[in-house]
Structure 1
């Protein structure tokens, strides 16, 4: 007998991605208004038709999808020409959380993100549905009340309901959020900026060469040389990345708070898009501490956690990060981890890369590409007048690659203990994971014949976590490090 539904979600589902769906159309209208010529719309008619396919598809999905709940299962029936039925036992549901973007907040609707244990595999059964406030809270209560048996990966006693304990709440200061945006890696921002500019040019038939002539950049190249212009552009992008990063981090993580009641962690944040997660501690597999180059200079980093249903969501929320502390000092990391999971307090001495193994880190496509770019830049500097000094850019790229390999050599480390397992890798961006030994799934050793003779191997480890973060590799470790990890995994 159904105790909820069959029922459609909130009609706002159709418009949840309004800005994403209609963004290109608005940009075209703005450009046309500025130019006083709307021919841009007609010339890119095919693109505009594609833009409208998104809302049409979401409308069909809304009309053809119904949700039902009985005492044992969540039932999702969908499809127009092809009917689909998804049944999820309530006992396997691991997460039921809310999120609200601007439109949700205006119309008092909620986006429910529902995960179950099968999301650790290739068959993803994440369910996203949108309801008004009354239905959203009713669905959440029904799903959580019906969840018995499987909680994450541990079989729970149906007769024992954990009682909340008096805990603590930590709130992240606004200044730390701004600092986070300033210190985060700028490479992704530069790539996204380049993609936006080139995509806009392709979509709206903008001739980049004409832009350069009109703005006088080509003249600047002839007067100052391409090297100076490139350095100016790099510096401009870097400054812009810092400003945009600070604004973006403040908006995205505004009001970030972590509440710990002893049994679960509740995380809330967001200004334009509000998110709320409740994570049972027995579902946490481990933690990751990430540091960009600038973060390391300030002895800061970002602490994330591994738990099915939080982060690595894929689809429309693929950029979601499993953040626990947006910014935290190095000397507080183990302390905060141990407060959440006392078994993670154990620490052993790390295995480090053996002496004489530095050259192995240079055997890779990235380094050889930097050598090629250096050679090309030197050749252009000697043969093309306007490229004089371009070798400086090539030399900087080569030096960056060399420094990155040296840092990889210095950072690579791992240990395996009775309670937890830790691995460290990365060059300019340093990654450290701490995983429960009981949640380790596999370890693998890979080595060439020459490295094997010297007792050097690359160690790959897999552990229970969302698919995008469920493994890590540390290069050129001593064979004894792999043996200890393997023995811990087996026994």
Structure 2
């Protein structure tokens, strides 16, 4: 592929589609106000234009070259920078399309490599847009070095694992909806505040209470609808499959994603559950690989989801099919009952306990039992969270993988390659160690969000067993 000293497609300037209507409206408003001799009207337009102008400057002064074994990136206005990235170190090459890119038949390409292991480097600067055919060739050169026809035959996707419509519904219903719910309440709150005093003179308190309850129920229903909509739009036509050395993922409706993950660069797998997902026996699975899990330079966060929602048994089958080198058969060693006291010695529970005590005193002083009731509910939830943390904490040490489990209302289980672990840490007070308990942390090559995982108050002999299987 002849690709030397090129910028790519100019549409990278308009990567954030949401900016376009805001930009147009801002420009029109500024033009109208400037005609009326209001020079300050230009200021909002300056703020609106800041992001696309910064991307325009970056586009004009960033050039990409494909050499025989390297990707070369040259950038900078006054201070020039040249980065050479060997193809062998590239971990992921992602293709994605927002609505605008789909209309003009271009792909956004994001490249990450193994050197991006800290907060600064994790913000990938290797982002460009190309026409679809060029983007596919560009990706294939970086990931395989084979010709386009051979790769297209390999990527027939006939054997892909696909998510069904019912999976999207389950995910939308079981995902946490607090963000949507609180957003709706925040918008509806001022309106309820205006309406309530007017209703107070007309209806009884019971009716007002009923209206408030109906508003809360309606808010929750709307939050469920928003969650369902987001689930369908995000994971529409989800499919995942594996070649000899690559895991490939495609999904999305309005914003299409296409990921290629080098198996050799995948250092772990995480199964996650929200509280609702746990009650219903479902998990979400993602792989741990450099380039995912931390915000990039545009403030977006990507996660390498290998399946959005499934039962544990189905996820195990998917992992065995995609990544057979991982052992998903395990027996977790949990803390015994003597360790439960140490789970209560955490800032969250202590804060809830102090808040409850203060609330009871305030409630008694002002004669408002609802204050004490609210604090009691908070304390009960905190106790439940502590007990769940006790139950979810666990470890399984194997020659190939180490499985670590933790969490409260939300739970996670991580399967980490033993050969990828770079450090292990045991932490515990003198009294805790005397009773045979330590918290165990694993350090390994991963995005900053997941580079250090900890499970709490585990039997101390598990740390010794972990040390015995590690080969540094």
TM-score range, shorter chain: 0.7 to 0.9
The counterpart of 1:99, out of the listed 92, 96, 114, is: 96
C-alpha distance after superposition, 1:202-224 (max 9, x if no partner): xxxxxx87x55533369669947
Contact 1:181 1:246 in 2 (8 A): yes
In the alignment, structure 1 residue 458 sits paired with structure 2 residue 439: yes
Partner residue in 2 for 1:342: 324
> Does the C-alpha gap of structure 1 residues 416 and 45 become closer, same or farther in structure 2, counting only changes over 3 Å?
farther
> Does the C-alpha gap of structure 1 residues 333 and 136 become closer, same or farther in structure 2, counting only changes over 3 Å?
closer
In the alignment, structure 1 residue 366 sits paired with structure 2 residue 348: yes
The counterpart of 1:352, out of the listed 334, 346, 349, is: 334
Which range moved further: 428-437 or 181-190? 181-190
Tell me how far apart the structure 1 counterparts of residues 243 and 183 of structure 2 sit (CA, whole Å): 39
Partner residue in 1 for 2:286: 304
Contact 2:293 2:449 in 1 (8 A): no
Q: Which runs of 5+ in 1 are unaligned?
A: 31-40, 148-162, 199-207
Partner residue in 2 for 1:242: 224
Partner residue in 2 for 1:137: 136
Contact 2:283 2:310 in 1 (8 A): yes
Shift of 1:474: 0.6
Tell me how far apart the structure 2 counterparts of residues 29 and 389 of structure 1 sit (CA, whole Å): 52
Tell me how far apart the structure 1 counterparts of residues 470 and 102 of structure 2 sit (CA, whole Å): 47
Partner residue in 1 for 2:63: 66
Partner residue in 2 for 1:113: 110
C-alpha distance after superposition, 1:131-154 (max 9, x if no partner): 22343234224333559xxxxxxx
Partner residue in 2 for 1:442: 423
Which range moved further: 443-452 or 92-101? 92-101
SS in 2 for 1:272: coil
Partner residue in 1 for 2:194: 214
Tell me how far apart the structure 1 counterparts of residues 197 and 466 of structure 2 sit (CA, whole Å): 57
Across the aligned residues of Structure 1 and Structure 2, the Cα RMSD in angstroms comes to 3.6
Tell me how far apart the structure 1 counterparts of residues 372 and 206 of structure 2 sit (CA, whole Å): 15
Partner residue in 2 for 1:174: 165
Shift of 1:370: 1.8
Partner residue in 1 for 2:174: 183
Partner residue in 1 for 2:270: 288
Shift of 1:300: 0.8
Shift of 1:280: 3.0
Q: Which runs of 5+ in 2 are unaligned?
A: 30-37, 147-153
Tell me how far apart the structure 2 counterparts of residues 233 and 377 of structure 1 sit (CA, whole Å): 27
The counterpart of 2:302, out of the listed 320, 324, 343, is: 320
Partner residue in 1 for 2:373: 392
Please give the TM-score of this superposition, normalised by the length of structure 2: 0.84
Contact 2:269 2:414 in 1 (8 A): yes
C-alpha distance after superposition, 1:237-277 (max 9, x if no partner): 44333221111011000000112344432211000000011
Tell me how far apart the structure 2 counterparts of residues 457 and 119 of structure 1 sit (CA, whole Å): 31
Tell me how far apart the structure 2 counterparts of residues 261 and 339 of structure 1 sit (CA, whole Å): 11
SS in 2 for 1:444: strand
Which range moved further: 388-397 or 242-251? 388-397
SS in 2 for 1:4: coil
SS in 1 for 2:449: helix
Shift of 1:178: 1.6
SS in 2 for 1:276: strand
Please give the TM-score of this superposition, normalised by the length of structure 1: 0.81
Contact 2:316 2:328 in 1 (8 A): no
SS in 1 for 2:325: helix
> Does the C-alpha gap of structure 1 residues 54 and 197 become closer, same or farther in structure 2, counting only changes over 3 Å?
farther
Shift of 1:227: 9.5
Partner residue in 1 for 2:312: 330
Which range moved further: 124-133 or 111-120? 124-133
Q: Figure out how many residues of one structure are paired with residues of the other and give that number.
A: 454
Partner residue in 1 for 2:78: 81
